[in-house]
Amino acid sequence: MAWRGWAQRGWGCGQAWAQPAGSHSCEELTAALAPPRLLGRRFNFFIQQKCGFRKAPRKVEPRRSDTGTSSESYKRSALIPPVEETVFYPSPYPIRTLIKPLFFTVGFTGCAFGSAAIWQYESLKSRVQSYFDGIKADWLDSIRPQKEGDFRKEINKWWNNLSDGQRTVTGIIAANVFVFCLWRVPSLQRTMIRYFTSSPASKALCSPMLLSTFSHFSLFHMAANMYVLWSFSSSIVNILGQEQFMAVYLSAGVISNFVSYVCKVATGRYGPSLGASGAIMTVLAAVCTKIPEGRLAIIFLPMFTFTAGNALKAIIAMDTAGMILGWKFFDHAAHLGGALFGIWYITYGHELIWKNREPLVKIWHEMRTNGPKKGGGSK
């Protein structure tokens, strides 16, 4: 009977337990033990006791990277890494998550073009010295005894036979291959998923917008992107120059990822993205806009040719349809954002940004010429 009475007072007024003689009801015990209500009915939940079992608080589970079950959401593309165990934490106010990426996009784009302008200035200054150094190197090679089968000489010969555009994108391709190899290291999987895939629900928002531009999980994905980049490298560098091309390419990767962020927040699909497709779409769109009558062909069907202008229209139409209809194999929003940025830059951006770099170059020239002043103040 003692155990039954303890259970009656501790667990509540259940029908299965008989109430001992002389005991009080649960409501009477509650009224006697509760402190006086000094704050009115608004704060009753601090002092009021309930009879019966207390309901456990509901746990708020973090959202997965996409809607639906894991077997459905991660079968959408073979180009992304297997991230079934990766948990993303979308903000309760998704629009606010775009503020930091927006500032990062604007700031990084400005820094990229400013650095490219300074890089071009320094390149022009050193061009004369490089010319004389090249003449001296050729003279030394002519009097130096030649070695048969010199591997270094063959590499130099191959490098010198490349166009300026091909030499420029060689570093980009090497960076992509290096990151692709990092994906094969099991101990780096978490780091790669966090910093080399972009998603507005990830804890790292800004740095993946740039790093994911050099990230490929699938060998076919990387090979296709690098082949297109290599094919258009000579044309785009002839149009923009080496320095301006690098600024456009890096900025395009960040801008296309920001457009992808906006689309993912609007649709509620927070799946991760990676790849250089957005930046390469900018290159392709810029060349097709500048040379719309150029002839293009598909690698496996070289007998079918079409104009660059028609190819650009078809690509934009396909990516627009994919974004509206929710196709999940590619990040169509990033593709569309990159293509629109390439069209805008060739049409307006070159005049607005690159041709107005002279004030920055003058400031840099004065800093290099005058240097830090030594001594006291002005006279």
Phi, psi of 305 (to 5 degrees): -120, 155
* DSSP label of 214: G
Range of the domain at 124: 95-134+180-370
Where is pLDDT greater, at 67 or 3? 3
Q: Look up residue 53 and give its two tokens.
A: 């079992």
* Residue 288 binned pLDDT confidence (cut-offs 50, 70, 90): very high
pLDDT of residue 52: 45
For residue 323, the surrounding DSSP H or E stretch is helix 308-325
Please state the separation of Cα 303 from the chain's center in Å. Answer: 36
Q: Look up residue 165 and give its two tokens.
A: 């555009």
202, 88 in Cβ contact below 8 A? yes
Q: Does 378 reside within a domain?
A: no
pLDDT of residue 37: 47
Q: Does 65 reside within a domain?
A: no
Exposure on the CB side of residue 110, measured as CA atoms within 13 A: 7
Where is pLDDT greater, at 314 or 4? 314
Sign of the CA dihedral running 105, 81, 265, 344: positive
Specify the 3-state DSSP secondary structure of 312: helix
What is the rounded average pLDDT for all residues in the chain? Answer: 77
Please give the tally of structural domains in the chain: 1
Alpha-carbon span 88 to 265, nearest angstrom: 13
In this structure, of 12-16, 119-123, 152-156, 346-350, the range with the lowest mean pLDDT score is: 12-16
Q: pLDDT tens digits for 129-155? A: 666 666 655 555 555 555 555 777 788
pLDDT of residue 335: 94
In the chain, which ranges are E strands? 295-298, 301-307
Alpha-carbon span 120 to 361, nearest angstrom: 9
Where is pLDDT greater, at 128 or 166? 166
Nearest to 51 by CA among 18, 19, 21, 29: 29
What are the catalytic residues? 277, 335
Q: Residue 341 above 90 pLDDT?
A: yes
pLDDT of residue 18: 46
Q: Does 47 reside within a domain?
A: no
* Predicted TM-score (pTM) above 0.75: no
Q: Look up residue 206 and give its two tokens.
A: 């800004």
* Residue 156 binned pLDDT confidence (cut-offs 50, 70, 90): confident
Q: Which amino acid belongs to residue 172? A: I
Q: Does 30 reside within a domain?
A: no
In this structure, of 63-67, 113-117, 344-348, the range with the lowest mean pLDDT score is: 63-67
Q: Does 311 reside within a domain?
A: yes
Which residue is it, tokens 């894991």? 70
Q: Look up residue 136 and give its two tokens.
A: 């001296």
* Pairing label, strands 301-307, 295-298: antiparallel
Specify the 3-state DSSP secondary structure of 198: strand
pLDDT of residue 127: 75
Kindly state the percentage of the chain with pLDDT values over 70: 67
Phi, psi of 276 (to 5 degrees): -95, 10
Alpha-carbon span 207 to 189, nearest angstrom: 17
Where is pLDDT greater, at 271 or 147? 271
Average pLDDT over residues 251-271: 92
Specify the 3-state DSSP secondary structure of 186: helix
DSSP bridge pairs for 18 = none
165, 233 in Cβ contact below 8 A? yes
Which residue is it, tokens 């349809």? 321
Alpha-carbon span 211 to 107, nearest angstrom: 16
